[in-house]
Amino acid sequence: MRPLFVPAMAFVSLLLAGCASAPNDPTLTLQTSKTPAQYADCVVPKLQGSALNPTVSQNQRSYRIVVPSKVSADNVLEAYKAGKGGKVFIYERHLLASNLLPSSFERAAQECI
Protein backbone atom coordinates (compact mmCIF):
# COMPACT_ATOMS: atom_id res chain seq x y z
CA MET A 1 0.00 0.00 0.00
CA ARG A 2 2.81 2.42 0.91
CA PRO A 3 4.57 2.22 -2.53
CA LEU A 4 1.36 3.47 -4.21
CA PHE A 5 0.91 6.29 -1.74
CA VAL A 6 3.94 8.35 -2.83
CA PRO A 7 3.12 8.41 -6.58
CA ALA A 8 -0.52 9.15 -5.79
CA MET A 9 0.45 12.10 -3.58
CA ALA A 10 2.82 13.42 -6.27
CA PHE A 11 0.02 13.28 -8.84
CA VAL A 12 -2.43 15.05 -6.52
CA SER A 13 0.19 17.74 -5.84
CA LEU A 14 0.59 18.37 -9.57
CA LEU A 15 -3.16 18.69 -10.01
CA LEU A 16 -3.42 21.15 -7.14
CA ALA A 17 -0.48 23.19 -8.47
CA GLY A 18 -2.41 23.71 -11.71
CA CYS A 19 -5.41 24.96 -9.74
CA ALA A 20 -3.25 27.30 -7.69
CA SER A 21 -1.85 29.23 -10.66
CA ALA A 22 -2.35 32.96 -10.35
CA PRO A 23 -5.89 33.63 -11.60
CA ASN A 24 -5.17 37.28 -12.41
CA ASP A 25 -2.23 36.68 -14.74
CA PRO A 26 -3.16 36.30 -18.42
CA THR A 27 -2.09 33.06 -20.03
CA LEU A 28 -1.51 34.91 -23.31
CA THR A 29 -1.27 38.56 -24.38
CA LEU A 30 -1.73 39.56 -28.02
CA GLN A 31 -1.48 42.82 -29.97
CA THR A 32 -3.91 43.53 -32.84
CA SER A 33 -4.44 46.29 -35.38
CA LYS A 34 -8.22 45.87 -34.92
CA THR A 35 -10.35 47.87 -32.52
CA PRO A 36 -11.88 45.93 -29.63
CA ALA A 37 -15.26 45.95 -31.44
CA GLN A 38 -13.75 44.59 -34.68
CA TYR A 39 -11.85 41.94 -32.75
CA ALA A 40 -14.98 40.84 -30.86
CA ASP A 41 -16.94 40.72 -34.14
CA CYS A 42 -14.30 38.32 -35.48
CA VAL A 43 -13.75 36.07 -32.47
CA VAL A 44 -17.35 35.53 -31.24
CA PRO A 45 -18.54 33.66 -34.39
CA LYS A 46 -15.39 31.51 -34.29
CA LEU A 47 -16.09 30.55 -30.68
CA GLN A 48 -19.72 29.79 -31.50
CA GLY A 49 -18.55 27.66 -34.44
CA SER A 50 -16.42 25.63 -32.02
CA ALA A 51 -19.55 24.82 -29.97
CA LEU A 52 -18.56 27.28 -27.24
CA ASN A 53 -21.18 29.63 -25.79
CA PRO A 54 -19.54 33.03 -25.33
CA THR A 55 -21.12 35.85 -23.36
CA VAL A 56 -20.08 39.34 -24.47
CA SER A 57 -20.07 42.49 -22.38
CA GLN A 58 -18.61 45.87 -23.29
CA ASN A 59 -17.84 49.33 -22.04
CA GLN A 60 -16.32 52.38 -23.73
CA ARG A 61 -12.77 50.99 -23.86
CA SER A 62 -13.06 47.21 -23.90
CA TYR A 63 -14.91 44.03 -24.71
CA ARG A 64 -15.02 41.06 -22.36
CA ILE A 65 -15.86 37.63 -23.75
CA VAL A 66 -16.51 34.83 -21.26
CA VAL A 67 -16.76 31.16 -22.21
CA PRO A 68 -18.05 29.01 -19.34
CA SER A 69 -16.17 25.84 -18.45
CA LYS A 70 -17.61 22.76 -16.77
CA VAL A 71 -14.32 21.54 -15.30
CA SER A 72 -12.35 24.68 -14.39
CA ALA A 73 -12.63 28.44 -14.10
CA ASP A 74 -14.33 30.22 -16.99
CA ASN A 75 -12.14 31.20 -19.92
CA VAL A 76 -12.02 34.96 -20.45
CA LEU A 77 -10.82 37.10 -23.33
CA GLU A 78 -10.52 40.86 -22.85
CA ALA A 79 -9.83 43.25 -25.74
CA TYR A 80 -8.81 46.83 -24.87
CA LYS A 81 -8.15 49.94 -26.96
CA ALA A 82 -4.42 50.50 -27.31
CA GLY A 83 -2.62 52.94 -29.60
CA LYS A 84 -3.45 52.04 -33.21
CA GLY A 85 -5.55 49.00 -32.43
CA GLY A 86 -6.06 46.83 -29.43
CA LYS A 87 -4.46 44.62 -26.85
CA VAL A 88 -5.97 41.23 -26.07
CA PHE A 89 -5.60 39.39 -22.77
CA ILE A 90 -6.52 35.71 -22.63
CA TYR A 91 -7.24 34.02 -19.31
CA GLU A 92 -7.54 30.30 -19.94
CA ARG A 93 -7.20 27.53 -17.38
CA HIS A 94 -5.95 24.29 -18.93
CA LEU A 95 -6.14 20.79 -17.60
CA LEU A 96 -2.72 19.13 -17.44
CA ALA A 97 -3.27 16.98 -20.51
CA SER A 98 -4.49 19.83 -22.70
CA ASN A 99 -1.39 22.05 -22.43
CA LEU A 100 0.31 20.43 -25.42
CA LEU A 101 -1.88 21.87 -28.20
CA PRO A 102 -3.70 25.20 -28.41
CA SER A 103 -7.36 24.93 -27.50
CA SER A 104 -10.18 26.04 -29.80
CA PHE A 105 -10.50 29.09 -27.52
CA GLU A 106 -6.85 30.07 -28.06
CA ARG A 107 -6.95 29.27 -31.79
CA ALA A 108 -9.97 31.54 -32.30
CA ALA A 109 -8.23 34.34 -30.41
CA GLN A 110 -5.06 34.06 -32.51
CA GLU A 111 -6.88 33.74 -35.84
CA CYS A 112 -8.54 37.13 -35.32
CA ILE A 113 -5.32 39.06 -34.73
Domains and CATH numbers, the chain: 24-111 (3.30.310)
pTM of the model: 0.74
Give me the pLDDT at residue 33, please. 95
pLDDT tens digits, one per residue of 17-60: 555 445 578 999 999 999 999 999 999 999 999 888 999 999 98
What percentage of the chain has pLDDT greater than the value 70?
Answer: 73
Give me the pLDDT at residue 9, please. 57
Spatial CA neighbour of 58 closest among 75, 81, 74, 42 = 81
What percentage of the chain has pLDDT greater than the value 90?
Answer: 51
Mean pLDDT calculated for residue range 84-108: 82
C-alpha torsion 62→68→71→76, nearest 10? -10
Q: How many CB atoms lie within 10 A of CB 68?
A: 11
Q: How far is CA 7 from CA 14, 60, 89, 99, in A?
A: 11, 51, 36, 21
